[in-house]
Structure 1
């Protein structure tokens, strides 16, 4: 069995190495072609060297095709993984820092809120170029597997405007599934779930153990859990008020809704600083910065560590390799996928990207009909979908009016800022991110003029309610195992230490 798999943004060590391991644990895939591409030559070299060492140590005769030329890497690919971060950590920093001046305190800022909206503008602009390359040089009817955030916005744009069949993939459902099992004192495989909604706002609408329905007992289990009742206060409060547990972490969820981060003196009532994902201001930016610094500094030592083992025992939970295995071998795989709704969830818009259970085999990817989400859950999702739709249309058309409307409709931005502040915030962010926003050339010119000639609404020197400085290399060296784990994991919140 031979076909080609290409990785765009392969310099992302967290995703690339693990996804490659997962693929190559499948015995039928030991003769496939692998291609890596990235815009950062050094990152690409390091990840290629490390992954090639893994391949060689596992006795496979595969030579990674590594190239800065994206079209060369994509040529004749049947499957394409995108694991890109458009603008890198430089742009990500502005996603967090500029909104803070206006009182918008984000933990992650990569899905919704001010940071997620701007991340989408950068990502969609480049995704349209990626889709053009895929259409022109990949296999006909190839499949694009998108791991890049903001997941729903990018997947929406690729399907509607990019002309490329795209499935969005995320590990959020698996993480919450593990938590629910732990809350009941069970193993993950002992709990069966149905989870549906939109990416990062997916709801566990059914929880069962040996055919016993536990859905109505989830709240009690979390409130009685000694750790979760401290670290998941936002999720528990949402569970109490909406009736269902949500996939995303305390910190993620807190920035998608208007209630938990709008008053700075109340943020600590809802978060926990035992680990970043519980609500730390700019927490994901911090751990990504630490991870990249550590990888670049410590890379020579990574080559001295044992290679990854391509065995079924070591295979991860990311959906991507299982989807390809199902399509190519016919083995049935059940996962949760981000797809165009088309009636799967009947009370969410058909054009939205929803996340729901799906089955994969040789016949393709099949999404069972879910029906209506509970009304409250659907309402929360609808608010986010409105932001996503405005953001996608703004990015595709370079329409700064739609972009400003997306900011206004966003739940947390709207809870914190008034309209004139939002207009000025968008101007500042457009100017700061000019190099990654070619579609906004005229709007950026006008924004520069306004910022230099019109009265400036005073902002503040606000660094966030719960900010922690990134560790130095010397500080990370005190716990090398933790630093290496942070740098190498795609899911940087998989293991959450106690507070």
Structure 2
């Protein structure tokens, strides 16, 4: 409508130097007009990476005529003043430390998969990341207390749990794992992803699909999935399918991610993350961004289209414009969303977002056996958060010794000593 006043906001993106996630976020931001005219403030401690992403944002802003105000700064506190939404995607020396999280436990005989969200790797991601996240939370509480803090950093469940328990910051975690699970299911069903709707509840990277439905009709596709799965290639996501057979629901989001939480997770593969491939891809992406930002290459077509599975922009638009929007999955404090899991646990469930904020959608209790399986990991996550919040090596050892991935007390002590020294510069009390 001509002359209509449009709601605008200030979005602060901390960790904006992250090229991979940054591109995905920009795809969604510039593919919609819901946030046109708003201010986007990019923040990173790496000036070169920050300049690169700011240059790309300005090119995309001009190409799509969204008229956002693009700012960038290394001064986090200056950026946060007056923000309505804060997006976090930081990681501390990501690949180098993550690789140590994976290799050192294996050296001591621990069989695990990725070393990121569960097992000893999940513990040390928590120990080194939470102090920095709490610095952000204190600044948000002081400078923009009404802002929604949208977290993409791992370990998602532990970060959301810690902030919900120990701060007053409004926090939401987002992850595309539910869409990855849908992809696996669709390979078996032989259907396009747009034809299938899924809903799930559980923990981040350990949701269980309570519904698999035909998008056009709402018809239950679980019977068809069970029939087709029997004849599908047995080498396709075997650990997930073993749990599907045993517990009756399909777990998210892949063998390696979900396997981090299980003592037998290594049966889904012990190869770990492809660090070399990731480093190569990031260098390629940085070069491409530089070329696009300088005008040496045109904007790739897919950079002007919505991303696959990232939902931050949909959340922001839904809250800002009171859209009453359904968001397929988000990590929130439980508080009864899954009635048979602890109320102070961070769980992943569907959401509704509107001007009143983020509202978890309860799908009811999980089947009893699944809830009991998740209770084991719930205790690990709760204890790991307390270890990080209090910078306690004693509690960290306890968190390892109740983790089902750990099968040796000697290994637990040895890897704790070694990784604690490596991460000592980042470990400090949070409260």
| Whole-angstrom distance in 2 between the partners of 1:5 and 1:308 | 24
| Whole-angstrom distance in 2 between the partners of 1:350 and 1:260 | 27
| Whole-angstrom distance in 1 between the partners of 2:297 and 2:235 | 36
Counterpart for residue 49 of structure 1: 55
The one of 401, 411, 435 aligned to 2:404: 411
What SS is found at the alignment partner of 1:281? coil
Counterpart for residue 332 of structure 2: 339
The Cα of 1:32 is off from its aligned counterpart by 0.3
Counterpart for residue 393 of structure 1: 386
1:108–1:284: 8 Å Cα contact kept in structure 2?
no
What SS is found at the alignment partner of 2:207? strand
Distance change in 2, residues 1:120/1:284 (3 Å): farther
The one of 200, 224, 231 aligned to 1:224: 231
The one of 101, 108, 127 aligned to 1:95: 101
1:58–1:310: 8 Å Cα contact kept in structure 2?
no
2:30–2:60: 8 Å Cα contact kept in structure 1?
no
What SS is found at the alignment partner of 1:170? coil
Structure 2 regions of 5+ residues with no counterpart? 1-6
Counterpart for residue 30 of structure 2: 24
Counterpart for residue 117 of structure 2: 111
| Whole-angstrom distance in 2 between the partners of 1:338 and 1:260 | 23
| Whole-angstrom distance in 2 between the partners of 1:190 and 1:51 | 33
How many pairs are equivalent? 419
1:346–1:371: 8 Å Cα contact kept in structure 2?
yes
| Superimposed CA distance per residue, residues 216-264 of structure 1 (whole angstroms, 9 cap, x where no aligned partner) | 44343334334xx323011111111111111121222223211142xxx
| Whole-angstrom distance in 1 between the partners of 2:289 and 2:416 | 38
Distance change in 2, residues 1:181/1:40 (3 Å): same
> Are 1:429 and 2:419 matched, yes or no?
yes
| Whole-angstrom distance in 2 between the partners of 1:96 and 1:259 | 16
| Whole-angstrom distance in 2 between the partners of 1:322 and 1:41 | 29
> Are 1:379 and 2:385 matched, yes or no?
no
Counterpart for residue 321 of structure 2: 329
Structure 1 regions of 5+ residues with no counterpart? 262-269, 272-278, 441-499
Counterpart for residue 451 of structure 1: none
1:25–1:315: 8 Å Cα contact kept in structure 2?
no
1:338–1:354: 8 Å Cα contact kept in structure 2?
yes
Counterpart for residue 350 of structure 1: 343
Counterpart for residue 9 of structure 1: 15
1:71–1:133: 8 Å Cα contact kept in structure 2?
yes
What SS is found at the alignment partner of 1:356? strand
The one of 165, 171, 174 aligned to 1:166: 171
The Cα of 1:47 is off from its aligned counterpart by 1.6
Q: TM-score, normalised by structure 1?
A: 0.79
The Cα of 1:8 is off from its aligned counterpart by 0.6
What SS is found at the alignment partner of 1:148? coil
Distance change in 2, residues 1:182/1:310 (3 Å): closer
| Superimposed CA distance per residue, residues 315-357 of structure 1 (whole angstroms, 9 cap, x where no aligned partner) | 5431111111111223232221111111111110000011111
Counterpart for residue 126 of structure 2: 120
| Superimposed CA distance per residue, residues 410-459 of structure 1 (whole angstroms, 9 cap, x where no aligned partner) | 12123xxx11221121011100112221349xxxxxxxxxxxxxxxxxxx
The one of 141, 147, 151 aligned to 2:152: 147
Distance change in 2, residues 1:101/1:239 (3 Å): same
Instruction: Give the alignment's Cα RMSD to 1 decimal.
Output: 2.2
What SS is found at the alignment partner of 2:102? helix
Structure 1, 365-374 or 2-11: larger mean CA deviation: 365-374
2:113–2:256: 8 Å Cα contact kept in structure 1?
yes
| Superimposed CA distance per residue, residues 288-327 of structure 1 (whole angstroms, 9 cap, x where no aligned partner) | 3233343456654454343266998535431111111111
Counterpart for residue 208 of structure 1: 213
What SS is found at the alignment partner of 2:34? helix
What SS is found at the alignment partner of 1:65? strand
2:388–2:428: 8 Å Cα contact kept in structure 1?
no
| Superimposed CA distance per residue, residues 61-81 of structure 1 (whole angstroms, 9 cap, x where no aligned partner) | 334211111111212110011
Counterpart for residue 309 of structure 2: 317
| Superimposed CA distance per residue, residues 160-198 of structure 1 (whole angstroms, 9 cap, x where no aligned partner) | 113211001000001112322332122323323221101
Counterpart for residue 61 of structure 1: 67
Counterpart for residue 194 of structure 1: 199
| Whole-angstrom distance in 2 between the partners of 1:134 and 1:172 | 27
Counterpart for residue 472 of structure 1: none
1:3–1:33: 8 Å Cα contact kept in structure 2?
yes
